[in-house]
Amino acid sequence: MSAALKSFQETLVRGIFLLVPLMVFGMLVAKALGLLRTLLAPLASRVGEVPGIPMPVLLSIVVLVLIIYAAGLISKSRGARGLIGWMESAVLSRIPGYTYMKGMTEHVAGVEGGPRYEPVLARIEDAWQLGFIVETIEAGQYAVYVPGAPNPWSGSVYFMAEDRVKRVDMRLGDVQGCLKRLGIGSAALLRGKL
């Protein structure tokens, strides 16, 4: 395969992985806005006009933002946390990688009370591997998740002693990005850390 064709193919794949999540998100928002526009049409006809913006669209956007904000407020209540906890333990935790993905997302977003995964280098046989301490078992003993490459959502869990774990100052997103790129960028990420 020629270099130009290979580059074209890789760029196409990258484009797909960028656009698919954006399209899914866009479709969900469009569906929600469409439903709200239909429900709010009678109210929109009674409200004054805003130049350049159709009132049903503007009302739909405002109501959607308020619904999302209200859901965020409700999610802090004891009842909602109980319901979410039950759903996660009974259903969602059975989906491979859900707990890890949720924890990583909460950590990156800075959600308080979410799990804190500490990036480490884990010594496995004669090699160092990027990983995360996901739990302290007891003093000097850790559960370490070593993600796979290029898919950091699948990997292996190792139970390791302190001497086989090297704590490193790295951002979670940088570690995951390096894994997704099959190690490209590791020279800058690991400089002075091995």
Domains and CATH numbers, the chain: 3-109 (no CATH), 118-190 (2.30.30)
Cα–Cα distance, 109 to 89 (Å, whole number): 22
Q: Are 47 and 59 in contact (CB under 8 A)?
A: yes
Instruction: Give me the mean pLDDT over the 38-56 stretch.
Output: 79
* pTM above threshold 0.75: no
d(CA 16, CA 21): 9
Which pairing describes strands 165-167 and 155-161: parallel, antiparallel, or unpaired? Answer: unpaired
Above 60 in pLDDT, residue 114?
Answer: no
Closest CA to 134 of 96, 169, 172: 172
Contact 32, 64 (CB under 8 A): yes
- SS3 letters across 97-127: CHHHHHHHHHHHHCCCCCCCCEEEEEEECCE
How much of the chain, in percent, has pLDDT values that exceed 70? 86
Q: What is the pLDDT of residues 116-159, one digit of tens each?
A: 778 899 999 989 999 999 889 998 899 999 988 887 777 899 99
Strand pairing partners for 156? 146
**Dist CA 194 CA 183 (whole Å):** 15
Q: How confident is the model at residue 91 (pLDDT cuts 50, 70, 90)?
A: confident
Token readout for 160 is 């390791």
* pLDDT over 70 at 17, yes or no: no
Residue 137: per-residue pLDDT: 93
pLDDT in tens, 169-193: 888 778 888 888 888 888 888 888 8
As a whole number, the mean pLDDT across the chain is 81
Beta-carbon contacts of 169 under 8 Å, excluding residues fewer than 6 positions away, are 119
